[in-house]
Structure 1
Amino acid sequence: MGTAQIVRGALHSIKVALSIIQYAEEIEHTSWSERAKFCMATLTFQGAVGEVTGSRYLIELNDTEPSHKLLLECGLHQGGPDAERVNARPFGALARQLSAVVLSHGHLDHAGLLPKLVREGYRGPIHCPWDTRDLLEIMLADAAFVMAKDIEWENKWRTKADKPLLEVLYDLDDVERTLKLCEPHGYGQPVSLPGGATLVFRDAGHILGSSIVELGLPSGGRQRRLVFSGDLGNPSSVLMKEPEKIHEADVVMMESTYGDRDHRPLEETIEEFSQVLEEAHDAGGNVLIPAFAVGRTQEILYHLSVLYHEGRLKQQRIFLDSPMAIRVTELYARKRKSLNREDLKVLNVAAQGDPSQYLPVLRLTRSVEESMAINRIHGGAIVIAGAGMCNGGRILHHFRYNLAKPSTRVVIVGFQAAGTLGRQLVDGAERVKVLGDELPVKAKIHTIGGFSAHAGQSHLVGWAGAFRHRPQFYLVHGEPSAQKALQTALAESGIEADIPGYGDCVSL
Structure 2
Amino acid sequence: MKLEFHGADQDVTGSCHLLDIAGKKILIDCGLYQGGRDLEEENLKPFGFDPASIDYLLLTHAHLDHCGRIPLLVKQGFTGEIITTSATCELARVVLLDSASLQESEARYKSKKASRHGNKNKVEPLYDKLDALNCFDFFGRKAGYNQKFSISEEIQVTFIDAGHILGSAAIVVDIEHQGKQRKILFSGDLGYSGRAIIKDPTPPPHVDIVVMETTYGDRLHKTLEPTLEEFYTTINETIAKGGNVIIPSFALERAQELLYYLREGIENGKLPSYLPVFLDSPMAISATQIFQRHPECFDKETCEVFSSGQDPFMFSGLHFTEETADSMAINNIVGGAVIIAGSGMCTGGRITHHLKHGLWNRKNTIVFVGFAAYGTLARRIVDGAKTVKIFGEEIPVNASVFTIGGFSAHADQGELMAWHQQTGDPKTTFLVHGDKEVMPIFAKKLQNTHVEIPELHQQYNLEEWF
TM class, shorter-length:
over 0.9
Q: In 2, are the aligned partners of 1:263 and 1:456 still within 8 Å (CA)?
A: yes
Which of 320, 326, 335 is 2:279 aligned to? 320
Aligned position for 1:8? none
Aligned residues: 459
Which of 301, 317, 332 is 1:342 aligned to? 301
Aligned position for 1:57? 17
Which of 181, 197, 216 is 2:138 aligned to? 181
Q: In 1, are the aligned partners of 2:425 and 2:449 still within 8 Å (CA)?
A: no
Pair 349,366 (structure 1): closer, same or farther in 2 beyond 3 Å: farther
CA distance in 1, matches of 2:376, 2:186: 27
1:495 Cα deviation from its structure 2 partner: 4.5
Which of 208, 212, 215 is 1:254 aligned to? 212
- Partner of 2:292, secondary structure, is helix
State percent identity of aligned pairs: 39
Which of 453, 460, 463 is 1:506 aligned to? 460
Larger Rg: 1
CA distance in 2, matches of 1:175, 1:130: 18
CA distance in 2, matches of 1:248, 1:488: 21
1:505 Cα deviation from its structure 2 partner: 1.3
- Partner of 1:82, secondary structure, is helix
1:84 Cα deviation from its structure 2 partner: 2.7
Q: Which moved more, 1:308-317 or 1:104-113?
A: 308-317
Structure holding more helix per residue? 1
CA distance in 1, matches of 2:224, 2:449: 28
1:365 aligns with 2:365: no
1:341 Cα deviation from its structure 2 partner: 2.4
Aligned position for 1:44? 4
CA distance in 2, matches of 1:92, 1:250: 26
1:367 Cα deviation from its structure 2 partner: 0.2
- Partner of 2:206, secondary structure, is coil
Q: Deviations over 1:88-124 (max 9, x none)?
A: 1234861111111111111110000001111111111
1:68 Cα deviation from its structure 2 partner: 2.8
1:94 aligns with 2:94: no
Q: Deviations over 1:336-376 (max 9, x none)?
A: 2321121343476748x5843xx110000010000010000
> Normalising by the residue count of structure 1, what TM-score does the alignment of the two structures yield?
0.87
1:72 aligns with 2:28: yes
Q: Deviations over 1:75-96 (max 9, x none)?
A: 0000023233211123486111
1:403 aligns with 2:359: yes
Which of 62, 66, 69 is 1:110 aligned to? 66
Question: Structure 1: any 5+ residue segments left out of the alignment?
Answer: 1-40
The amino acid across from 2:155 in the alignment is A
Aligned position for 2:124? 167
Q: Deviations over 1:287-330 (max 9, x none)?
A: 00000000100001111001111122136210000000000011
Aligned position for 1:35? none
1:468 Cα deviation from its structure 2 partner: 2.1
Pair 416,349 (structure 1): closer, same or farther in 2 beyond 3 Å: farther
1:306 aligns with 2:264: yes
The amino acid across from 2:126 in the alignment is L
- Partner of 2:80, secondary structure, is coil
- Partner of 1:170, secondary structure, is coil
Aligned position for 1:37? none
Aligned position for 1:415? 371
CA distance in 2, matches of 1:297, 1:452: 11
Q: In 2, are the aligned partners of 1:197 and 1:217 still within 8 Å (CA)?
A: yes
- Partner of 2:384, secondary structure, is coil
1:400 Cα deviation from its structure 2 partner: 1.0
1:119 aligns with 2:70: no
CA distance in 1, matches of 2:118, 2:418: 56
1:194 Cα deviation from its structure 2 partner: 4.3
Q: Deviations over 1:233-269 (max 9, x none)?
A: 1213211111111232110011100000110010010
CA distance in 2, matches of 1:289, 1:138: 21
Aligned position for 1:478? 434
Q: In 2, are the aligned partners of 1:204 and 1:211 still within 8 Å (CA)?
A: yes
CA distance in 2, matches of 1:166, 1:91: 21
> Normalising by the residue count of structure 2, what TM-score does the alignment of the two structures yield?
0.95
Aligned position for 2:224? 266
Q: In 2, are the aligned partners of 1:198 and 1:216 still within 8 Å (CA)?
A: yes
The amino acid across from 2:195 in the alignment is S
The amino acid across from 1:177 in the alignment is N
Q: In 2, are the aligned partners of 1:237 and 1:452 still within 8 Å (CA)?
A: no
1:198 Cα deviation from its structure 2 partner: 1.6
1:439 aligns with 2:395: yes
- Partner of 1:345, secondary structure, is helix
Q: In 2, are the aligned partners of 1:136 and 1:179 still within 8 Å (CA)?
A: no
Q: In 2, are the aligned partners of 1:231 and 1:255 still within 8 Å (CA)?
A: yes
Aligned position for 1:297? 255
The amino acid across from 2:343 in the alignment is A
1:459 aligns with 2:419: no
Q: In 1, are the aligned partners of 2:162 and 2:202 still within 8 Å (CA)?
A: yes
Aligned position for 1:330? 289
Q: In 2, are the aligned partners of 1:99 and 1:194 still within 8 Å (CA)?
A: no
